Structure 1
């Protein structure tokens, strides 16, 4: 008996030498010819009775006992690690595949008036959805009793398809049925995930796409290979792509390794239309345990105080500079309302141009890393800046880091966020690290004497505590998922500085979206969404209850920008949490606004916020910020 090859799709050659592709094809052709005559008569009868959906049924080829047994035996053998009889599993050839995880593909799945199903589905209301995982349009749950116009189709799925799936997959399924219409148009997508949730057991997709759909249109169902990292199964590279062929049904078992995605749709005139959902097991699946190592805190050395000539008036602290103070008040007002604001045109034009030129020139030789777990972190390239040596290879970028580590810069951030970024003398940090072990600390300093005096002693060197200091590169198809790193500390201030993205319009993606993890409806209604702007600094205040993600960068960006990436510097500063003791107050005194200034700004903000007439919604956030920029342009 021929042994089935481990890890390869079933083929005619590795089962039985006495069975040929031609014999199978001939048998199928005979069945189809007989069915065609019968279906022609039955369809005419259905149209005459005014109920065209009533005859929707599974292709009889797939309901034969031989095929159902073959699929069942094959899936069970793979699960048990045994070798089935080649003769028994022969009818399953071409329909069942083992890698990258067990899945089934059945072309020409339903017999009946398929066009009527498509027409009825398109009459349903599709609601646009957008989260960190997806962008698509979806109907409401069609299996509800109130959806009478789709009752015949849902009855077929519940009463015919569900028992058939239970038989061939050797699974006890509940009567519960999920079925929704999904429509993907240009740039719509569903990023890598595994479908594990509650009692989901068998996922299915039934395609009603245009018959002319091709690979150039995108929208393929991509299946990922997987591997084990730190005892957790994580997705790897795409191993198989399934074209959304009209009237085909795809099924797969939801499990640890069922990583898949819907590739971005590239067609501007066709929609990827489908019915999709899950059949549910009687017992819930085991929740996934993600490995989330705690990144060591960085300690960024503070540099000399004072205004940097390469930065616009954002850093000015002279009260005579009325424009700068007014701008900070406007930013502080946005922070109060939305947990975030955008400082536009942060750097002087000449310095910003030198920065982008340097990034373009050095981009190909930089030591980029890639996210290792799409299911948890997303997909992008980055460099964690945890050593002072790396920026020396890029002097302009190194100067940008120095600017964001000056007392003057951090004071300005404290002013608009009403927080105190955590700082401490370097010698005390070294003593503390020696006591508890230095593995949780990383000091980003540039050698003795490089830091400016920030304490009471002229030679005393001070550092600010940061949870992240990272240079990121985004290309078409890149994104980041919700990050829960702030849950490890009480509060952080995230700084996102965008570079070389002049053509990044809001419809290209790449925005930073902030959400409340305690609000079950907030996934569809985030607190704020801030679009990336060249030379723009986003400031976000996060605590244990708030997370952020970066929107999927879609095909429009590649088309408008010629495939070139854009860059983002992300620094996440820790802040003083809870009651500030006397020593902490002394440490932070040089990195916080004066008491008089705070009182004046708080009084102004209270007056402004109390007036509900001028409040704007998060979607109008750019308009709220543009008032100060308009004055600057004038």
Structure 2
């Protein structure tokens, strides 16, 4: 067996063993358990376990606790075989001294459950395995194990779907469990890792930041043309600012004038906009429109969100200094000090009042027009927290009249190194969402699942949600 595990061999079969080196070495062992009665009893013991729902940016499924201390006879027997004789055989085949560490759990994937593209890169992990205990399964049921190749930056690129019990050995590999599409089948599996000497890891590629731009020199004429008059009322803006300052988020319903909103939505569905898929899959999966291909009304809406007048409107909504005319905290303190000085006869010219001699920074923004459909998502990344900044997020969804929360596709905000969600912003037509986040807050867009396919197909022959996504910096 040792001689066939060689990276120059693309594919090899030997009895119930099948080795494939594309996109990286992995091994299929058919009929791994010979006894049908053992398999049935093992499956029954596993289904009797307590399972915990797991859901975050990367996955949604149910998982048991670690099985290393379970006493059920068939779980115990399989565990002893995997981490005893099988571990010794696998170590000999690979030429690696595998450690007798037990790392195995049971997972249940049911309708719309998924595990997105990831590398599971933790110290000491050398060979992963998955043992499937599933009913007769068709490709239309989903739930495949997808293996990704990598490019020179060690980003995931291509994908090769497979299934069965695997082992793999590589510096940096990416895998995912495709979404389960069957409503009446359960993808039950045992999975874990064999541990061994750690490998030297390649350096992670750092993505360059998106270019940011100052506002466009457009006056309030754009606001009058596009924005619901309610939100241009100064008294109502004060109410919005008070609510925003209390919670750091707000949703402004029916934000655009109805006729303008309909014009933009229809233009996106009916015109030939150029869309580009965004990746890599271990970071994101959605489409972005090319600015040069925007229909005229979409370009006008884009200019609105980038305009000087809109920056000032956002300042009035949020109290943030996104325009030179908006008062800053320093201005308010100076005014308080001045009033106090007048009351006490002091000039108010104190060191604290003049501690910031630098001029105000230039507010900037970065934006995208995005298209979302079944299977799209964004993921958090290990380096996101170190690059987090104070920022104002803006979302303006389009063409999602029947969108439901169970479809996914919502933007979730979480605290760094915490799983609990602080806020979820759901797609709602013509509802402008504003969220202020600090350096400890991260965000992702939840995977859009198969339930979204129940939506009626529009004129574009594609079930899709569009949104303008902007980030503004003081």
Which position in structure 1 is the counterpart of 2:426?
A: 531
Shift of 1:190: 1.2
Residues 384 and 314 of structure 1: CA distance in aligned 2, closer, same or farther (over 3 Å): farther
Give unmatched runs, 5+ long, in structure 2.
Answer: 326-360
Shift of 1:187: 0.8
CA distance in 1, matches of 2:34, 2:17: 20
Alignment deviations for residues 394-422 of structure 1 (CA, whole Å, 9 cap, x no partner): 22212222332345533443344442226
Task: Kindly report which structure 2 residues correspond to 1:118-517, keeping only aligned pairs within 5 A, or say none.
Answer: 118-143=43-68, 145=69, 147-149=70-72, 150-210=75-135, 212-228=136-152, 232-239=153-160, 241-243=161-163, 248-256=164-172, 258-283=173-198, 285-286=200-201, 288-305=203-220, 307-313=223-229, 315-319=231-235, 321=236, 325-335=238-248, 340-362=249-271, 365-375=272-282, 377-383=283-289, 385=291, 390=292, 393-421=294-322, 464-466=363-365, 468-482=366-380, 487-488=386-387, 490-517=389-416
- Report the 3-state secondary structure (helix = DSSP H, G, I; strand = E; otherwise coil) of the residue aligned with 2:226: coil
Residues 288 and 202 of structure 1: CA distance in aligned 2, closer, same or farther (over 3 Å): farther
Which position in structure 2 is the counterpart of 1:549?
A: 444
TM-score scaled by structure 1? 0.63
- Report the 3-state secondary structure (helix = DSSP H, G, I; strand = E; otherwise coil) of the residue aligned with 1:494: strand
Residues 98 and 124 of structure 1: CA distance in aligned 2, closer, same or farther (over 3 Å): same
- Report the 3-state secondary structure (helix = DSSP H, G, I; strand = E; otherwise coil) of the residue aligned with 2:213: strand
- Report the 3-state secondary structure (helix = DSSP H, G, I; strand = E; otherwise coil) of the residue aligned with 2:451: helix
Which position in structure 1 is the counterpart of 2:18?
A: 95
Which position in structure 2 is the counterpart of 1:571?
A: 470
Residues 139 and 289 of structure 1: CA distance in aligned 2, closer, same or farther (over 3 Å): same
Shift of 1:504: 1.6
Alignment deviations for residues 7-40 of structure 1 (CA, whole Å, 9 cap, x no partner): xxxxxxxxxxxxxxxxxxxxxxxxxxxxxxxxxx
- Report the 3-state secondary structure (helix = DSSP H, G, I; strand = E; otherwise coil) of the residue aligned with 1:366: coil
Which position in structure 2 is the counterpart of 1:30?
A: none
Higher-helix-fraction structure: 1
Residues 123 and 328 of structure 1: CA distance in aligned 2, closer, same or farther (over 3 Å): same
Residues 487 and 418 of structure 1: CA distance in aligned 2, closer, same or farther (over 3 Å): farther
CA distance in 1, matches of 2:113, 2:81: 29
CA distance in 1, matches of 2:311, 2:434: 12
Residues 190 and 233 of structure 1: CA distance in aligned 2, closer, same or farther (over 3 Å): same
Check the 8 A contact 1:100/1:225 in 2, yes or no. Answer: yes
CA distance in 1, matches of 2:267, 2:274: 15
- Report the 3-state secondary structure (helix = DSSP H, G, I; strand = E; otherwise coil) of the residue aligned with 1:553: coil
Give unmatched runs, 5+ long, in structure 1.
Answer: 1-69, 425-461, 576-634
Which position in structure 1 is the counterpart of 2:353?
A: none
CA distance in 2, matches of 1:350, 1:178: 59
Residues 191 and 358 of structure 1: CA distance in aligned 2, closer, same or farther (over 3 Å): same
Check the 8 A contact 2:24/2:170 in 1, yes or no. Answer: no
CA distance in 1, matches of 2:463, 2:171: 37
Alignment deviations for residues 552-600 of structure 1 (CA, whole Å, 9 cap, x no partner): 111111232434211111111111xxxxxxxxxxxxxxxxxxxxxxxxx
Higher Rg of the two aligned structures: 1
TM-score scaled by structure 2? 0.83
Shift of 1:355: 1.0
Check the 8 A contact 1:511/1:532 in 2, yes or no. Answer: yes
Check the 8 A contact 2:215/2:308 in 1, yes or no. Answer: no
Shift of 1:316: 2.5
Alignment deviations for residues 174-194 of structure 1 (CA, whole Å, 9 cap, x no partner): 222211111111111111122
Residues 148 and 93 of structure 1: CA distance in aligned 2, closer, same or farther (over 3 Å): closer
CA distance in 2, matches of 1:90, 1:295: 47
Shift of 1:327: 4.5
